[in-house]
A and B are shown apart, each in its own frame.
Chain A
Amino acid sequence: MGKKSIDTKLIKDVLKKFEESEATSLKLELNSKKLKIKKAIPIQPVISDLYENQIIEQNKNIIEKSDDKDKNVFIEADRVGKYFSIHPPDSPDRLKEGDTIAHGERMGHIVSMEVVYDVFAPFDLVVKNIYINDSDPVEYGQALYEVEAI
């Protein structure tokens, strides 16, 4: 008698259905074998009802002209919170000086009252200076980066 083989077609079908569904985790038990699968959940703003009416506008980068160089500008924090650097989207890499970022790409995010707010590139740019580290607290209007428009 041969060993009981796992029905790979069945597993593939189940995984496909799981992928298409809104479920975020799955437990399978076949022939005494256990399988646990979890979906990656993308970071997105979580706004509870309590705070909804307090949020006036999101992602309104503040841009101040740098005194040093004509082409350089500062991107400032538009809210108070804790800063995290993430670039490019869905990558473990952190934003670095010298990075080229396309308009609309995420450069980092600020967590304020448990809500995540992305800091997007306001135009195509090269990062000249980064003034903030991961997990640093930020205040309103604090310079996050000095960038050069390209």
Chain B
Amino acid sequence: MFNKILIANRGEIAIRVIRACKELGIKTVAVYSKADSMSLHRMLADEAVCIGEAASIDSYLYIPNIISAAQITGAEAIHPGYGFLSENQNFVEICEAHDIKFIGPSLNTMMNMSDKAMAKRIAREASVPVLPGSEGAVKDVEDAKTIAKEVGFPVIIKASFGGGGRGMRIARDLKELSHYFEIAQNEALSAFGNPDVYIEKFVENPKHIEVQVLGDGKGKALYLYERDCSVQRKHQKLIEESPCPVLDDAQREDICKRAASLAAMIKYEGAGTLEFLYDKGQFFFMEMNTRLQVEHGVSEMVCNQDLVKWQIKIAAGEELTIDQEDIKINGHAIECRINAEDPENNFMPDAGKAEQLIFPGGPNVRIDSFIYSGYEIPPYYDSMVAKFLVWGNDREEAINRMKRVLSEFKVEGFSTTADFHAKVMDNKTFTNGKYTTKFLEENV
């Protein structure tokens, strides 16, 4: 086992990892920017190293200072958390070159799964259902028309090397396809430096369902069931729950087994997530996130496992001592992401000093946060300030518990999304479980 781990992140996830390390008897090193000198993760770690200025590019993304921080403190491994460098192949390579264990999948796995066409090929090989569409980049508009006729309209044109919605166009007929194809290529070129686009069947009103997997890097992989993450705003998840309220046991077992078989096939190491679109009983693989997810806690609650501890143990070369039969869904868990945003003002990010802070508590409530009374939220980073997680014997109890938790939460100094979440908990489309990724635009 490692003696000391550096956590290359900030906020609640840095604290989450520090807590797991403490319980495993591992010393921790926090890194922080000048703007985070009063951050809780700095105070909770055994050691802390300032790595740069407030801007992420000069600190949490600045690889030389992070590697140097590991070297001067004698940290043997780096946990990247999520975001920042967690899926940065260059960082993984540099860690390897300096004999520092990157807690996550191998460079090769990360490279393969970040290439969308390659990830789709691997998924097909593992019998994971994928969206029908082109095999890689589409040559020209005539090629695009042929493929669109095969898969059926509507189709979505996406940048091969893109993300974040840029370079994406939906075409509902041949005329629209001809019109948008070149526009999408131009957008892809200007945004990502490469004009390649590919075509997929467009799913109008899907659920976003993802499967949590855990692999030992040697070919053994388990699933910790699925999460429904369909309550989103501009592709940012706001509420996640496990299990998904509309799947039956047979659907659940089938997709989870397929996801785990993919993870086993690629000898996946650590925690990962396969994201799917779900519509009318069918799953379509979107991508694999080769890291810990923000919402990993809901899976931990229903499966009674600690994913971060498993990540660390596996990275240290320990055996994955649990088997699939040991992982059962127990009850229901919901997570609400509390953001420093103003829902009344188009979710505009807010910042300020947290005053009169009261966090909820009680049975089966988990608060993952880094703020405290008197803490000034820096405006440079993600707006999420806390995750409220609740567990219930069933979904109804979990929803009622979340309502109670949200009502107990008090903070002054900035706006939060807590009241917005309380309204969602009362919304009939949410409570009946049939909500989709269009929930927000249709209900709020």
Write the residues of chain A forming the contact surface with B, with a CB cutoff of 8 angstroms: 50-51, 54-56, 79-82, 112-113, 115, 137-142
Q: Is the CB of A113 within 8 A of B72?
A: no
Using A50-B93, A51-B94 as known contacts, say yes or no to A137 and B72 having CB atoms under 8 A apart.
yes
CB of B97 within 8 Å of the partner chain: yes
In whole Å, how far is B100's beta carbon from the nearest beta carbon of chain A?
Answer: 11
Name B residues whose Cβ lies closer than 8 Å to a Cβ of A: 34, 49-52, 59, 62-69, 71-73, 90, 93-94, 97-98
Contact partner of B64 among A54, A138, A139, A141, CB < 8 A?
A: A54
Q: How far is the CB of B148 from chain A (nearest CB, A)?
A: 40
* Residue contact B94 to A112, C-beta cutoff 8 Å: no
Contact (Cβ within 8 A) A141 B34: yes
B51 and A113: CB pair below 8 A? no
Q: Are A80 and B65 in contact (CB under 8 A)?
A: yes
Write out the residue numbers on chain A whose beta carbons fall within 8 Å of the beta carbon of B34: 140-141
Query: Does the CB pair B94–A80 fall under 8 Å?
Result: no
Contacts of A82 in B (CB 8 A): 71-72
Q: Which 7 A-B pairs have the closest CB atoms?
A: A137-B72, A80-B68, A80-B65, A139-B50, A112-B68, A139-B49, A140-B50
Contacts of A139 in B (CB 8 A): 49-51, 69
Partner of B71 from A56, A113, A142 at Cβ < 8 Å: A113
Set of chain A residues within 8 Å of B51, measured between Cβ atoms: 80, 139-140
Asked whether B69 lies within 8 Å of A80 as measured between CB atoms, the reply is yes
How close is A93's CB to chain B, nearest CB, in angstroms?
25
A116 to chain B, nearest CB (A): 12
19 examples of A-B residue contacts, CB within 8 angstroms: A50-B94, A54-B63, A54-B64, A54-B90, A79-B68, A80-B50, A80-B51, A80-B64, A81-B68, A81-B72, A112-B64, A112-B68, A113-B67, A137-B73, A139-B51, A140-B34, A140-B52, A141-B34, A142-B50
Q: Complex Cα distance A102/B351, Å?
A: 45
B259 to chain A, nearest CB (A): 34
A81 contact set on B, CB distance < 8 A? 68, 71-72
Residues of A within 8 A of B64 (CB): 51, 54-55, 79-80, 112-113, 115
* Cα–Cα, bound, A56→B99 (Å): 24
A56 to chain B, nearest CB (A): 8
Q: A113-B71, A137-B72 are in contact. Are A80 and B63 (CB under 8 A)?
A: no
Distance to closest chain A CB from B425 (angstroms): 43
- Answer whether A80 and B72 are a contact pair too, CB < 8 Å, given A54-B64, A112-B64, A140-B50: yes
Residue on B with the closest CB to A136?
A: B72
Q: Nearest-CB distance from B98 to chain A (Å)?
A: 7
CA of A140 to CA of B51, assembled, Å: 5
Residue of A nearest to B70 (CB): A80
Residue in chain A with minimal CB distance to B57: A56
Q: Identify 16 new A-B residue pairs, CB closer than 8 A, beyond the known A79-B65, A80-B51, A113-B71.
A: A51-B64, A79-B64, A80-B49, A80-B50, A80-B66, A80-B68, A112-B68, A113-B67, A113-B98, A137-B72, A138-B72, A140-B34, A140-B49, A140-B51, A140-B52, A142-B50
Question: Bound complex: CA of A82 vs CA of B52, how far in Å?
Answer: 16
Taken together as a complex, chains A and B put the C-alpha atoms of A115 and B97 apart, in Å, by: 14
Which residues on A sit within 8 Å (CB–CB) of B50?
A: 80, 139-142
What residues of chain A lie closer than 8 Å to B65, measured between beta carbons? Answer: 79-80, 112, 140
Cβ-defined partner of A50 (8 Å) among B49, B62, B71, B97: B97
Measured CB to CB, the closest approach of chain B to A123, in angstroms, equals 23
Q: How far is the CB of B354 from chain A (nearest CB, A)?
A: 25
B96 to chain A, nearest CB (A): 10
Collect the chain B residues with CB atoms within 8 Å of residue A50's CB.
93-94, 97
**In the assembled complex, how far is the CB of residue A50 from the closest CB belonging to chain B, in whole angstroms?**
6
* Chain B: minimal CB distance from A135 (Å): 10
Please measure, in the bound complex, the distance between the C-alpha atom of A13 and the C-alpha atom of B98, giving whole angstroms: 44
Contacts of A137 in B (CB 8 A): 72-73
A112 to B97, CA, bound (A): 14
- Measured CB to CB, the closest approach of chain A to B381, in angstroms, equals 17
CA distance A82 to B67 in the complex (A): 12
Cβ–Cβ < 8 Å partners of B93 in chain A: 50
Shortest distance from the beta carbon of B51 to any chain A beta carbon, whole Å: 5
- The docked-state distance in angstroms from the alpha carbon of A51 to that of B95 is 11
Cα separation A55 to B63 with both chains bound (whole Å): 9
